Amino acid sequence: MDIKVIDQLVEAARRPIELAFGQRVNEFIGRTLDQNLTHYKSQSPMLRQVVIQELGSVLRQLQPDERAFFATAFDSVLRDVIKAAGWKIQMRAQAPDAIERWDENRRMDVVVWMDQLAQQPGDSYLKPLLSKLSREDQLRIAERTLRAIVHSVIQDDARVRSPMFVFHKERVCLEKKLVFDYLHDQIGLYVYQFLDRQAGAFLNEPCLKVRLYARKQLQGLQIMEADDLSKDIMAEVREDFLRKLNTTKTGKDSFFLDSLLSTYLLGFVNRGRLVWHAIKNQLAGDVSPDEIPILAVHDNDEQLKEVLVSCKQQLKPDCKEVIDSRYNNDYLRPLPASEIAADLDKGVKVVEGLIRRCLETLRTYVADECRRQHLIFSPR
């Protein structure tokens, strides 16, 4: 494939109107695409549309130094995009428990990001956990992560419409953020279930979200002891969850987490009506559990977006500039420091340090504001 064609497809993919990209695909590679589709086993009428969607995502995030390889290996890459789109369609119709063998490419997607996670600088509770994993353990965690993605994203009509694949290390793979959203929980849970019953730190962040959620609900009911009661609810949820894990088999029928752990634990709060149980003796009259309002978890996400935008405005001009350069661009992944340095006429090391300091400052501002508003915030 001529690299000039790749350049034009990238430009079209980055335009806000998706139709323009579809027209370019038909113009430049329509015949090639259709020929490849006839050889693919899936006959879903959605396949061509999903392929174009995912191809647009891959091209939109393509870095300048990847284009030459992409052009050279275009036929192979296109087949991989078709397989990825076919997998996405296939998974929509299958229950995770019915999947006997996970696609090897998708398993390796998760392993690739797991390896990158292990190499990231800085300390976290995950580093010692990752060091405990064999390659077989990694593959099992990959399958559990895929289960959660299939259940929570691919089979969700609203979320599945978003592209899920990128081009990374000369291969088409699941997008990093999508994998990371579920991978952290799966690593912690797997190590606790199968390798080390003392490694319970993976519960700290999800339990904090439970506490903040319960506190916000209690404060909405004007309960004076909201802080203490929310701690009690958090402790109860943690204890109940660990009891569930400790009494569940560790073989093929072991516990599978098919969602975010925080979402699962918040289900303990709502299904168990724990807020009602915590305050029922303080309520005037005979109030049933159904009369206690349940907060919508997703409302918190919209408020977090507002907090993030507001806190960014508090940064110094150089921080706002570098953060805007890194994230407010046509890429769906952060722009490399080397490109930002060239645009800002600064050294790469200077820009890397600036990004690190500015993000840390922004994270502090957001965390403080979330505490003030009693929002559920993950510093991850």
pLDDT in tens, 277-291: 888 877 666 667 776
- Whether 151 maps to a domain, the answer reads yes
Is the model more confident about 113 or about 92? Answer: 113
Instruction: Give the helix/strand (H/E) hosting 167.
Output: strand 165-168
CA distance linking residue 215 with residue 292, whole number of Å? 14
Task: With a cut of 60, say whether residue 54 has pLDDT above it.
Answer: yes
With a pLDDT cut of 70, the percent of the chain lying above it is: 86
Residues 228-245 have a mean pLDDT of 93
Report the half-sphere exposure of 9 (CA within 13 A, side-chain side): 27
Task: With a cut of 70, say whether residue 312 has pLDDT above it.
Answer: yes
Task: With a cut of 90, say whether residue 29 has pLDDT above it.
Answer: yes
Bridge partners, 173 (sequence order): 166
CA distance linking residue 362 with residue 343, whole number of Å? 22
Say whether both 31 and 54 belong to one domain. Answer: yes
Say whether both 204 and 231 belong to one domain. Answer: yes
Residues 94-99 have a mean pLDDT of 79
Band (271; pLDDT cuts 50, 70, 90): confident
Say whether both 32 and 87 belong to one domain. Answer: yes
Say whether both 265 and 306 belong to one domain. Answer: no
What's the pLDDT at 332?
43
What's the pLDDT at 250?
63
What's the pLDDT at 261?
94
Angle at 229 between CA 226 and CA 230, to 5 degrees: 80
- Whether 267 maps to a domain, the answer reads yes
Is the model more confident about 75 or about 337? Answer: 75
What's the pLDDT at 324?
83
Residues 320-348 have a mean pLDDT of 76
> Could you write out the three-class secondary structure of 291-352?
HCCCCCHHHHHHHHHHHHHHHHCCCCHHHHHHHHHHHCCCCCCCCCHHHHHHHHCCCHHHHH
Residues contacting residue 174 through CB under 8 Å, at least 6 positions apart: 106, 109, 110, 113, 149, 164, 165, 166
Burial of 51 (0-12, 13-18, 19+ CB in 10 A): buried
What's the pLDDT at 373?
63
- Whether 64 maps to a domain, the answer reads yes
Task: With a cut of 90, say whether residue 51 has pLDDT above it.
Answer: yes
What CATH number does the domain containing 345 carry?
1.10.10.10
- Whether 380 maps to a domain, the answer reads no
Q: Do the Cβ atoms of 151 and 158 come closer than 8 Å?
A: no
- Whether 241 maps to a domain, the answer reads yes
- Whether 378 maps to a domain, the answer reads no
Is the model more confident about 165 or about 63? Answer: 165
CA distance linking residue 85 with residue 156, whole number of Å? 16
What's the pLDDT at 279?
86
CA distance linking residue 171 with residue 168, whole number of Å? 5
Say whether both 282 and 361 belong to one domain. Answer: no
Say whether both 2 and 89 belong to one domain. Answer: yes
Band (180; pLDDT cuts 50, 70, 90): very high
Q: Do the Cβ atoms of 250 and 193 come closer than 8 Å?
A: yes
Q: Do the Cβ atoms of 349 and 185 come closer than 8 Å?
A: no
Say whether both 86 and 106 belong to one domain. Answer: no
Say whether both 72 and 114 belong to one domain. Answer: no
With a pLDDT cut of 90, the percent of the chain lying above it is: 43
Within 10 Å of residue 280's Cβ, how many Cβ atoms?
14
What's the pLDDT at 97?
77
Q: Which of 16-20, 129-133, 139-143, 229-233 has the lowest mean pLDDT?
A: 16-20
- Name the residue type at position 343: D
What's the pLDDT at 71?
93
Contacts 24+ apart (CB under 8 A), 75-79: 75/1, 75/32, 77/167, 77/172, 78/29, 78/32, 78/33, 78/36, 79/36
Q: Do the Cβ atoms of 324 and 290 come closer than 8 Å?
A: no
What's the pLDDT at 342?
84
Instruction: Give the helix/strand (H/E) hosting 149.
Output: helix 135-149
Tens digits of per-residue pLDDT, 243-256?
988 887 666 557 88
Task: With a cut of 50, say whether residue 226 has pLDDT above it.
Answer: yes
- Domain limits at 310? 297-373
Tens digits of per-residue pLDDT, 198-225?
999 999 999 998 998 898 888 888 888 9
Contacts 24+ apart (CB under 8 A), 185-189: 185/148, 185/257, 185/260, 185/261, 186/141, 186/144, 186/145, 186/148, 186/257, 187/114, 187/126, 187/129, 187/130, 187/133, 187/141, 188/125, 188/126, 188/129, 188/261, 189/144, 189/245, 189/255, 189/257, 189/261
Say whether both 270 and 209 belong to one domain. Answer: yes
Residues 356-363 have a mean pLDDT of 89
Domain boundary among 51, 75, 93: 93
Q: Do the Cβ atoms of 232 and 278 come closer than 8 Å?
A: yes
- Whether 191 maps to a domain, the answer reads yes
Residues 335-346 have a mean pLDDT of 83
- Whether 162 maps to a domain, the answer reads yes
Residues 303-331 have a mean pLDDT of 77
Domain boundary among 170, 199, 228: 199
Rounded to the nearest integer, the mean pLDDT of the chain is 85
Domain count, the chain: 4
What's the pLDDT at 254?
73
Within 10 Å of residue 366's Cβ, how many Cβ atoms?
19
Say whether both 256 and 194 belong to one domain. Answer: no
Report the half-sphere exposure of 90 (CA within 13 A, side-chain side): 15
What's the pLDDT at 303?
62
Within 10 Å of residue 213's Cβ, how many Cβ atoms?
25
